[in-house]
Amino acid sequence: MSGSDEEFDNYLDEQVNRQESVTIRRVIRDFQNPFEYYSEVEFKQRYRFRKETVLNVLMPLISHNLEKLTKRGLPITPVYQLLIALRFYASASFQIISGDLISVSQPTVSRIVKRVSYLISLQIKRYIKFPENSEYTKLKFYQIAQFPGVRGCIDCTHVAIQNPGGNFAEVFRNRKKFFSINTQLVCGPELEIYDIVADRPGSVHDNRIFQASTLKAKLEGGEIDGLLLGDSGYGCQTYLLTPVLRPESDAEQNYNKAHIKTRNTVERTIGVWKRIFPCLSKKLATNLTTTCHVVVATAILYNICRLHNEIEENIEPPVIRRIGRRNANPSNRQGLVFRRIFIERHF
């Protein structure tokens, strides 16, 4: 081979290698910019929000507290960290995220989920609260089944976790024999989340969580006016009404029907929340502290979904109507008297 032929072959090899390098960089760039790579529909499927909501609503909440991470010379920007966390909430799989996103290892994803979840959870007072207009809330609840005076509906749901280990691991094993965080929610008439307690072990009963909550203190102190509706796992109080377990009169039966239909909002809320963020229905492999932050963060994001019309119409689960469990603790006598008078007056 002549020197000129060899030089020409080297030139071709160089051009091919350069083109391959450009192609690889383009693929990496596209994968690292999901805003360009995915259509609006694909983006929302993966991250649960429209692109504009991520950029204009979610990013301002946390961007000032997120620094760039570097992995093998590749900067992970704050917005990219947010997308990684959102993808985790929508899948609960470190493997899926690592497969979706080039050059992001599972340990890096874990650190990002921990960091972003904590920062989002700091927004709890802004996004999870009872609305100031209590009369509007009571009216919207009344329109469901003509049950007067309701400010919220309360229930608990279990978020499955891996065995936390340690001397107190069994405290997290619930009555269905899996490890969990028993999470208390109060919802509004339009399936908003008004209150959340997300740090109680799975073995702790719903009523005990409520008894120890700041919510109870606010109700007793008059800071929150109106009634909560709960199932029969709670003790009946003057501010928390439960169903009549053995209704005899027409009034009691009418009360139960209205109670069940109205209280169903909290079951629907939990169902929609878990459908939007499937990580809540899978066994979370994060540590306990991060798990609690993930639960709160998804509740905040759920309310943001509602505020910005991000929830699909067909995502709501079917309506479930039931009385609930028998009382775990004796009802307050004053509460039972209050309920009897309430039924006589309104039903």
Query: CA 202, CA 175: separation in Å to the nearest integer?
Result: 8
The length of the chain, given as a count of residues:
347
Nearest CA to 184 out of 204, 154, 160 is that of: 154
| Amino acid 227: pLDDT | 96
Query: CA 107, CA 111: separation in Å to the nearest integer?
Result: 6
**pLDDT class for 18, splitting at 50, 70, 90?**
very low
Helix, strand, coil share (%) of the chain residues, nearest 5: 55, 10, 30
Task: Give the strand order in the sheet containing 193-201.
Answer: 193-201, 180-187, 150-160, 227-229, 240-241
Query: CA 113, CA 123: separation in Å to the nearest integer?
Result: 16
**pLDDT class for 122, splitting at 50, 70, 90?**
very high
- For residue range 148-194, what is the model confidence (pLDDT) as tens digits? 999 999 999 999 999 988 888 999 999 999 999 999 999 999 999 99
**pLDDT class for 27, splitting at 50, 70, 90?**
very low
| Amino acid 28: pLDDT | 38
Pick the more confident residue, 10 or 301: 301
Element (H, E) at 296: helix 288-307
| Bridge-based pairing state of the strands 150-160 and 227-229 | parallel
Query: CA 73, CA 60: separation in Å to the nearest integer?
Result: 26
For all residues of the chain together, what is the average pLDDT?
Answer: 85
Q: How far is CA 145 from the centre of its chain?
A: 27
Range with the poorest average pLDDT among 20-29, 73-82, 175-184, 285-294: 20-29
Q: Which of 126-140, 302-316, 330-344 has the highest mean pLDDT?
A: 126-140
